[in-house]
Structure 1
Amino acid sequence: MMTKQQTVIVGGGVIGLLTAFNLATQGQPVVLLDRSALGQESSWAGGGIVSPLYPWRYSPAVTALAHWSQDFYPQLAERLFAATGVDPEVHTTGLYWLDLEDEAEALAWAVREGRPLSPVDVSAAHYAVPVLGPGFSRAIYMADVANVRNPRLVKSLKAALLALPGVTIHEQCAVDGFIREGERIVGVNTASGEIRGEHVVLAAGAWSGELLHSLGLVLPVEPVKGQMILYKCAPDFLSGMVLAKGRYAIPRRDGHILIGSTLEHAGFDKTPTESALESLKVSAVELIPALADAEVVGHWAGLRPGSPQGIPYIGEVPGFEGLWLNCGHYRNGLVLAPASCQLFADLLLGRQPIIDPAPYAPAGRI
């Protein structure tokens, strides 16, 4: 019989939400805290491609999480839609990479990993995506890549959590420190008082490193700003995702087109800038010339939780019994969330982990 032990989760982005969901569906009481509203930081701001932008450039640790998540996303979306009536819109469009410098490495990776990535004639890319710009000479394509509409995923996860027993959600509830008794972390301090639990999980994205400072721990997770712009076109305007020179276009089902993104080290400043807007517009028109006549209907910035090699921290912190991490996913939080949160639940509940947990363990990394 599994014992019921309250878990306090700090951070209500997709990682915190899905961590809470995986524990609550196993009958574990959960308290989820966020300093603002749920999922309004990088979970809301990101593009939602269910693949690392350049998967062959990552370590096997990131690849293992990405593959598990990519295969799991469709059933997660179906389950959430059935439970809540809110569709996260996992939209499988495929992805074209154009004029890659490391195309040979990409294709070698695909063979090694058994992923359906292959070269196509650039004319085939133009045939499949008629609005694609003329300035490209080479293309590779992966057919099964999806994108998830991340604001809807957040909304769906929140609704699913609220329908489960034993779940408490506190929004506008900033954590300013941890409660320590001997070697154990037994809760957190908030503006409205102490909240205690058998386990405390830090899933606070770009803010995770700041929170751990109070315990004298140095977690190399730092904010990395990313800006995006949004166009509104006809629903069938863009039939697939395209990526060139580090910039991408993502179609939503209703005709919204996301163009992203910048990579900026500007601390916790989330102000959208005119220079980024102009740069993103240039990229948009280079990828899809017809966007020159389309209206930008949104422009925003978010803060990614930057980490060394983009490898997240998943597991218990040595020397601080009861303190757990699920953070530092850098550019791939939405991609890696299903696997990261399943692995986390396996570790916390003492189950056989879905993949080898060693590369993500905080021990020796902080």
Structure 2
Amino acid sequence: MLSNEETVDIVIVGAGVIGVATAYYLQKNNPSKKILLVDRYLAAGQANTAMSAAAVRNMFASSTNQLLTDTSIKYFEHVQNEIGYDLMFEKTGYLWLLSEEQFSHESVKLWIKRMKESNISCKVYDKKQLKELIPNLNVDFTGDDEAELMNLQEVSYGLFGADCGVLDPTRLVEYYLEGFVKISKVKPRYGVDVQTLIVEANPPLELPGEPFVWQKKHVVGVRTNKGDIRAETVVLATGAWANELLDPIGIDSLTKAKKRQIFVLHAADKAELLEVLNTKGFSEMDSIPFTILPSAGVYFRPQHQEKGFWIGCGDKFGREYKYIQTDEDLVPESAYYEDSIYPVLSKYFPAFTDARPVNSWAGGYSYAPDRIPFVYKKSGVLVVGGASGSGIMKADALARIADALYRGESEAELFGGKTMPSTALGLKNRKVEVESVII
């Protein structure tokens, strides 16, 4: 139990992957500081981190996202291959299936151009090559009235990224958490629900009712279900719940939440699905890549440990955004798979015909307007969020940037020696490009 009030140097709210990674780098580079990590759940990484597809890619159109993801993914490889900590990271690759119209669009041409300029691995396959590699892929909807009714676009090209893949989000959280706990002065605390940020006048004048609008103000801690925690700096790594804490104190996070769902399908009892899962030719793993279909935002992740697939959908128009994520957003909808995902999936890959989920879950993505994350410090609160559905694949870089910003460094050093201005992801004067490649 927390005492009625205690004081630390830094309190970090949110023990998802971004929160634990930030805790690790802050403690590592500020060893004298007393840093407390808290979360409303009963363990780290139990909310949206655990509910994600846990795929990682550096295939972005903006140089900012390319840098954030490429350095993070390379660090994950370093952790697994050099440090020897198994993240269950598998380089399955990413495969975007594109129609002729999509592939010819100026935005896709620019995307490919920017990736080549940044030395991001990408390869184009034509329809014939794709059909040879994936015999079950349907590339011809001629005469298919249902496909026409569903506005499905035929596959003409595939854009493949070899340095992308999938990992276990729990293992990644455990890696950072174990590193933090070894050097921390305070153990993380769970079941701690932060209800509000505490704002006080700076300096206080001891007047009843302060702070007033004419006073300077500062966040000095958090009020929780187990008492107040005062801190010089409050770090918010709360993702889709950020507005719940920032709105009441007048900070506009500029982010909105959207529900995302994953449906698990087993392939062990169906030879056609196993053949798709074990597709040869894309990587040394003999695996179908993480694959995005040309229509409706439907995608699937190969899951070899379970001999199956995780199926999801990056829907856009027609499904609501929410300003604050609610508990209802953590409940998957069986009808969403049956009515929205399955008809599309089974048209492009007939092997999925009659395949039904054996498990499912749901969570929320926190989207920024330009689909680039935010890292900024304002009046005593340091916010890391708005990862726009790619928090895991950017977590290492974002945590290093947050630490550099806290220490007042002008540049954040990312893995591999690359750098980024610590203020580049701020609310104001953002030095970023708008991201166009979002799932």
Q: TM-score range by the shorter chain?
A: 0.7 to 0.9
Match of 1:261 among 313, 323, 329: 313
Identity %: 25
Q: State the alpha-carbon separation in 2 of the partners of residues 195 and 81 from structure 1.
A: 37
Task: List runs of 5+ in structure 2 lacking aligned partners.
Answer: 1-7, 141-154, 203-216, 269-273, 279-286, 414-419, 431-439
Q: State the alpha-carbon separation in 1 of the partners of residues 179 and 351 from structure 2.
A: 39
Q: State the alpha-carbon separation in 1 of the partners of residues 46 and 358 from structure 2.
A: 18
Q: State the alpha-carbon separation in 1 of the partners of residues 187 and 137 from structure 2.
A: 47
* Change in CA separation of 1:129 and 1:94 when aligned onto 2, cut-off 3 Å: farther
Secondary structure (helix, strand or coil) at the match of 1:219 reads coil
Residue type at the aligned position of 1:139: G
What does 1:25-44 correspond to in 2, within 5 Å?
25-26=28-29, 27=31, 28-37=33-42, 38-44=44-50
Aligned positions, number: 351
2:281 matched residue in structure 1: none
Structure 1 residue 283: deviation in Å? 3.4
* Change in CA separation of 1:156 and 1:99 when aligned onto 2, cut-off 3 Å: same
Match of 1:242 among 291, 294, 299: 291
Match of 1:356 among 380, 399, 421: 421
Structure 1 residue 347: deviation in Å? 1.8
Residue deviations 1:6-28 (CA, integer Å, cap 9, x gap): 32101111110111121233324
* Change in CA separation of 1:23 and 1:286 when aligned onto 2, cut-off 3 Å: farther
Residue type at the aligned position of 2:190: E
Normalised to the residue count of structure 1, the TM-score between the two structures is: 0.86
Q: State the alpha-carbon separation in 2 of the partners of residues 287 and 7 from structure 1.
A: 50
1:75 matched residue in structure 2: 78
1:306 and 1:331 in contact (8 A); partners too: yes
Matched, 1:310 2:371: yes
Residue type at the aligned position of 2:343: V
Could you say which structure has the larger radius of gyration?
Answer: 2
Task: List runs of 5+ in structure 1 lacking aligned partners.
Answer: none
2:401 matched residue in structure 1: 343
* Change in CA separation of 1:199 and 1:333 when aligned onto 2, cut-off 3 Å: same
Q: State the alpha-carbon separation in 1 of the partners of residues 82 and 227 from structure 2.
A: 35
Q: State the alpha-carbon separation in 2 of the partners of residues 190 and 79 from structure 1.
A: 40
1:95 matched residue in structure 2: 94
Residue type at the aligned position of 1:265: E
Structure 1 residue 251: deviation in Å? 1.2
RMSD of aligned residue pairs (Cα, Å):
2.5
Match of 2:228 among 168, 191, 194: 194
1:281 matched residue in structure 2: 342
Q: State the alpha-carbon separation in 1 of the partners of residues 170 and 114 from structure 2.
A: 31
1:327 matched residue in structure 2: 385
* Higher mean displacement: 221-230 or 265-274: 265-274
2:262 matched residue in structure 1: 228
2:199 and 2:249 in contact (8 A); partners too: no
Q: State the alpha-carbon separation in 1 of the partners of residues 10 and 75 from structure 2.
A: 25
Q: State the alpha-carbon separation in 2 of the partners of residues 256 and 152 from structure 1.
A: 20
Residue deviations 1:292-349 (CA, integer Å, cap 9, x gap): 25441222221111211122221211xx1x3111111111111211111111112213
Q: State the alpha-carbon separation in 2 of the partners of residues 164 and 256 from structure 1.
A: 39
Match of 1:113 among 114, 118, 133: 118
Residue type at the aligned position of 1:247: V
Residue type at the aligned position of 2:26: L
Q: State the alpha-carbon separation in 2 of the partners of residues 253 and 80 from structure 1.
A: 24
Residue type at the aligned position of 2:53: G
Secondary structure (helix, strand or coil) at the match of 2:188 reads strand
Secondary structure (helix, strand or coil) at the match of 1:339 reads helix
* Change in CA separation of 1:133 and 1:243 when aligned onto 2, cut-off 3 Å: same
Structure 1 residue 358: deviation in Å? 3.4
* Change in CA separation of 1:252 and 1:157 when aligned onto 2, cut-off 3 Å: farther
